[in-house]
Amino acid sequence: MTIDKELWSEPEGLLEKFDANKDGLIDFDEFRTMCVDLFGNEEVEKHEYRVRDIFDILDSDEDGTLNQEEWERCCKEWTSVVVNPVNVFLIVDVQNDFIEGTLALRDCGKGQDGAEVVAPINRLLAELRWDKVVYSLDWHPENHIGFYENLGLRELHAESKIGKQEAKPFDTVVFLDPHLEQRLWPKHCVIDSWGAQLHKDLVIVPGSDQLRKGKHPNMEAYSVFADNNRENSRELLNILEGVGATDLYVCGLAYDVCVRATCLDGLRQGYRLAVIEDCCRGVDPADIQETRRTIEDNGGLLTDSENTRRLVEGQNRSIVMALQLAKSLGSKILGDKNPEGDE
């Protein structure tokens, strides 16, 4: 869908185009007409309630119209981002151990094969112009708390339902110190090992970044954004802020573990986020379905490689992702109105 990108960040031009009754305000019907031009009629009809949600967020004084201040904010902070996104491709943990090594998904007995993500990821790297590509890697010390083989190194808490004697790989136990719940994994992605390397067939593009996570022996780090204790790392955020990222396209291994955690953290950070499902594989199909529901419930877009291509090239635009942006803008507006957090 080709559009005049300059027009969509120009309040006066857009007002002249869509203010049908020439009252200097934009009501919902006029806003919906604008959305049809921006997203296409099929997308608007599919997401009517989201269009209304977006309008209600932008209409911060709740009077049923967008006044001059609201309209200028809409154009400069919403439509301009929708038509001029800064796209980051975040490829999570496409490493040897998850494909052919000690934690190969194909050996988990659930019908998933990590090798299947490499070809579609490579196509997206070859065919699309990304503003930044980031690869994450699990990068664990030998004594990492998540390894089943290290179970004997730490005491279990009395509340752990599974004891050391009966515990098996993929069981969940509760450790005493540090006091945390931990799923036990076969030893994998040990620092500087073959298993920790990105898969040999995965294309590494010039100018990309590689981030290593899970380096602390006593704490998992499923998300590329933060350890499992919710302590944020600035490394990924600094990269995203450095390029002015607006849109994150996430894929990799495993869908129901590290991809899931990364997506939910990205949404919490306020990014427009899509997960590319044909570029993901997981541990357990049941957990994957729960992951899909959770990402959608938190505002993420579930998509595939072909639609990703259309979105990044600007042929399509997503109302789901546009609502993510409106919600972030709405939170900012509330913060500006109430900087001290007063009631």
Give 10-residue mean pLDDT values along the chain (343 residues).
76 94 97 96 97 97 96 94 96 98 93 96 98 98 97 96 95 95 96 98 98 95 88 88 98 97 96 98 95 97 98 96 95 66 52
Start-end of CATH 1.10.238 domains in the chain: 7-84+322-337
Start-end of CATH 3.40.50.850 domains in the chain: 87-145+185-303
The span from the CA of 48 to the CA of 54, in Å, is 10
Query: Nearest CA to 196 among 121, 98, 114, 90?
Result: 98
List residues bridging with 190 in a β-sheet. Answer: 140
Q: Report pLDDT for 3.
A: 72
Edge-to-edge strands, sheet with 247-253: 209-213, 132-138, 87-92, 247-253, 272-281, 301-303
**What CATH topology corresponds to 87-145+185-303?**
Rossmann fold (3.40.50)
What is the model's pTM? 0.94
Q: Report pLDDT for 227.
A: 86
The span from the CA of 292 to the CA of 113, in Å, is 18
What beta strand segments (E) does the chain contain?
A: 26-27, 65-66, 87-92, 132-138, 172-175, 180-183, 209-213, 247-253, 272-281, 301-303
Instruction: Please identify every residue annotated as catalytic.
Output: 93, 213, 258
**What CATH topology corresponds to 7-84+322-337?**
Recoverin; domain 1 (1.10.238)
The span from the CA of 228 to the CA of 265, in Å, is 11
Q: Report pLDDT for 233.
A: 79
Q: Report pLDDT for 340.
A: 58
